[in-house]
A = this chain, B = another copy of it.
Amino acid sequence: MSHHLTKLMAADTPDTSERMDIRVYYEDTDTGGVVYYANYLKFFERARTEWLRRLGVNQSELAAREQRIFVVKDVELHYRQPARLDDLLVIHSDIMRVGPASIRFRQRAMRDGELLCEGSIQVCCIDAASFRPAPFSIDLRTLLEKAKN
């Protein structure tokens, strides 16, 4: 999939992907002097959350009103270059695919145009009680499909 990701990236028009700035603090780093590898998953989730919020989807309301929560099903991450304390990262988020109850994101952490970490993350919508897949409402699916283009 790494090759596939690289191809897609080359074809990117920067204007279509959502962006979120994230500053690197002490909490994000480890004794190797770089951002700890698990923390990119935190950065990517912050970016997906803000992306959903801009679409009008508030996850805590969705949980309270419709008992639906988003969970991550699959993750693929490639670490290219380390990030360090005080770096200002830009997280790019693109929707690759929208299914009946799932979204596949491609997300990248960049610093001054340099790719540090890229990932492919599959998110599923599930029922908060049963933990079973719960299809998006038609309205939400339409919204997501539109955001894909």
Contact = CB atoms under 8 A, between A and B. Distances in A.
Contacts of A69: 32
A32 B42 CA distance: 15
A116 to B, nearest CB: 12
28 contacts: A23-B46, A25-B42, A25-B46, A26-B30, A26-B36, A27-B30, A27-B42, A27-B45, A29-B30, A29-B31, A30-B30, A31-B34, A31-B85, A32-B63, A32-B69, A32-B71, A32-B128, A38-B38, A41-B41, A58-B86, A59-B86, A71-B82, A72-B79, A73-B78, A74-B77, A76-B76, A76-B77, A82-B131
Contacts of A78: 73-74
A52 to B, nearest CB: 11
Oligomer: number of copies: 4
Interface range, A side: 35 or more
Nearest to A37: B72
